[in-house]
Amino acid sequence: MHLPIRTVTPESESAAIIGWVHEIRDLGGLMFFLIRDRTGIIQVTIPKKKVPAEVLDAARDVSRESVVRVRGRVKAIDKAPGGREIVPDGLEIISLAGSPLPLDVAEKVPAEMDTRIDSRFLDARKPRVRAIFCIRSAVTCAATEFLHSRGCINITTPKIVAAATEGGTELFPIAYFEKEAFMNQSPQLYKQMMMAAGFEKVFEIGPIFRAEEHNTIRHLNEATSLDVEVSFADHNDVMELLEDLIVYVYESVAGTCGDDLAELGISLSIPGKPFPRIRYEEAIEIANRTIEDKLSFGDDLTPAAERAIGSGIGQHYFIVDWPTDIRPYYAMPYPDRPELCKAFDMMHPRMELSSGAQRVHDHDLLVERIRAKGLAPEAFEFYLKAFRYGMPPHAGWGLGIERLVMTMLDLGNIREAVLFPRDRHRLTP
RNA sequence: GCCCAGGUAGUGUAGUGGCCUAUCAUGACGGCCUGUCACGCCGUCGACACGGAUUCAAAUUCCGUCCUGGGCGCCA
């Protein structure tokens, strides 16, 4: 039996713990070890003349980052971290760590992202890295709770798909027995088909794959998307759902991840509802006041434009009413002004987090929209079929989990928000 | 894909033609040290990505290769 290190208090009489050797300080007659597990760090103090010989031998042999079991008396002592320390009766090396270490877990010396990812298992021993992933876990957990509470059904859609069905982004081709197949870029078509199934409200948290050769701090080739689709809803309904979700997730993290946030030095401020809605045409106007390369109607927002708008607003916001031409075929055009559509992006001041729309649910209009994008409706037969036998009006969005975590925790690089990032150059570990 | 910047001990760095058998820190090893908490002090160990070129002389300049970071493009 062993105790989580956090639960060992100055009032404890004795304790047995298992953890990694975080630091060793040898003062001569006295040795100090810091032992770390995922709950915290405790000091183990060894007065060399007073401990059993086996303890002394193990203390001399052990290396940093080895796994050790320690049992002994707990002493309340102000000078020790956490106000307590263990004086061991037993010290057992369970797994001796090699030396030198590929990176310094105690972070006396920093390591570059590349070095860190090469030894991600060691990097993730750092309390601040662990904290990021505990918070990410809380984020997806809170999002799942929230969507269940709103009556959404958690679905899983295929990640291996038949063809480059959506146009736009590049797909990763794979061999599927005798057929050509691709890694899916989004669950978009499948979650819409579940509207035709009458599931009414669905969500999925899953991987998406984009074969773009981008090389930035905010793109990954394998990312995690939170996708939602709701029937009998329009774009305004799902924007409200999205901002409710963001606020719920922030509140949940603030309420349950206090120690992790403290580890990261973050004091989380909960976004205020409603998020401002800015029309696309207003957005380019605002951006054009400050950016060099002016935008005109029909241009997508550049990163510089996103930052210019974001820094003025200073909080999460929506950009609504986009030109139909620069949104996907499934975005619903306004009937009275079809050059605009019921699409939106949800933005953090730093970057886009989510995009969504009310969808085209009319079969013939959808075919027309697909053609207008220069795509062949025949390639979409499996999808279009769902629009012929009673497709309800519906709307939805997709939200990048890594970007949500990145912006929530003010991380400098999206790779901080994923354990094993896949980017232009990295396929291992 | 275009552009910019890089690759020096395990890790993070200094060094832009000779002053470099390469700086500092961390680390490892040895020594001293009974209250450290980035412990301190002394000693030792360990590196110029690879290949070619220029030069009396290359970590430093040039060419090529490989690798990396970032900006942009692209990204429904």
Per domain, the residue ranges of chain A are 5-95, 122-276+315-417
Q: What is the spatial distance between Cα A364 and Cα A45, in angstroms, rounded to a whole number?
A: 76
A25 belongs to the catalytic site = no
pLDDT tens-place string over residues A245-287: 999 999 999 999 999 999 999 999 999 999 999 999 999 999 9
Q: Which two tokens stand for residue A306?
A: 């996103």
Name residues 124-163 of chain A with a Cβ under 7 Å from nucleic strand B: none
> Which nucleotide's C1' atom has the smallest distance to the CA of A188?
B76
- With a cut of 90, say whether residue A294 has pLDDT above it: no
A292 belongs to the catalytic site = no
Name residues 261-320 of chain A with a Cβ under 7 Å from nucleic strand B: 300, 302-304
pLDDT of A165: 60
- With a cut of 90, say whether residue A79 has pLDDT above it: no
CA/C1' separation A154–B48 (Å): 55
**Is the CB of A425 less than 7 A from some atom of nucleic acid strand B?**
yes
**A60 contacts: CB under 8 Å, gap ≥ 6:** none
CATH fold, domain A5-95, is OB fold (Dihydrolipoamide Acetyltransferase, E2P) (2.40.50)
A212 belongs to the catalytic site = yes
Query: Could you tell me which residue, A311 or A238, shows the higher pLDDT?
Result: A238
Q: Which residue has the tokens 């060992």?
A: A8
Of A170, A222, A282, A352, which residue is the catalytic one? A352
**The domain over range A122-276+315-417 is classified in CATH as 3.30.930.10:** yes
pLDDT of A166: 64
- With a cut of 80, say whether residue A164 has pLDDT above it: no
**Is the CB of A328 less than 7 A from some atom of nucleic acid strand B?**
yes
Nucleotides of B under 7 A from a protein CB: 1-2, 10-13, 25-29, 32-40, 67-76
- With a cut of 90, say whether residue A168 has pLDDT above it: no
Global ipTM: 0.88
CA/C1' separation A91–B40 (Å): 27
pLDDT bin (cut points 50, 70, 90) of residue A222 is very high
CA/C1' separation A294–B72 (Å): 15
pLDDT bin (cut points 50, 70, 90) of residue A429 is confident
> Which nucleotide's C1' atom has the smallest distance to the CA of A110?
B12
Query: Could you tell me which residue, A228 or A161, shows the higher pLDDT?
Result: A228
pLDDT tens-place string over residues A59-73: 999 999 999 999 999
- With a cut of 70, say whether residue A167 has pLDDT above it: no
Of A64, A84, A116, A210, which residue is the catalytic one? A210
Q: Helix A127-149 crosses helix A401-408 at what angle (to 10 degrees)?
A: 120
- With a cut of 80, say whether residue A16 has pLDDT above it: yes
**Is the CB of A115 less than 7 A from some atom of nucleic acid strand B?**
yes
Residue type, A187: P
Mean pLDDT, residues A238-245 taken together: 97
Give exposure, A102-138, as e/b (b: 16+ Cβ within 10 Å). ebebeeeeebeeeebbbbbebbebbbebbbbbbbbeb
- With a cut of 70, say whether residue A9 has pLDDT above it: yes
pLDDT bin (cut points 50, 70, 90) of residue A425 is confident
A352 belongs to the catalytic site = yes
Of A218, A277, A363, A426, which residue is the catalytic one? A218
pLDDT tens-place string over residues A81-123: 889 999 999 999 999 999 899 999 999 999 999 999 999 999 9
**Is the CB of A47 less than 7 A from some atom of nucleic acid strand B?**
yes
**In the predicted model, what is the mean pLDDT of chain A?**
93
pTM of the model: 0.93
Q: Are A73 and A8 in contact (CB under 8 A)?
A: no
pLDDT bin (cut points 50, 70, 90) of residue A45 is very high
A119 belongs to the catalytic site = no
Q: Which two tokens stand for residue A104?
A: 């310094």
3-state secondary structure A237-296: HHHHHHHHHHHHHHHHHHHHCHHHHHHHCCCCCCCCCCCCEEEHHHHHHHHHHHCCCCCC
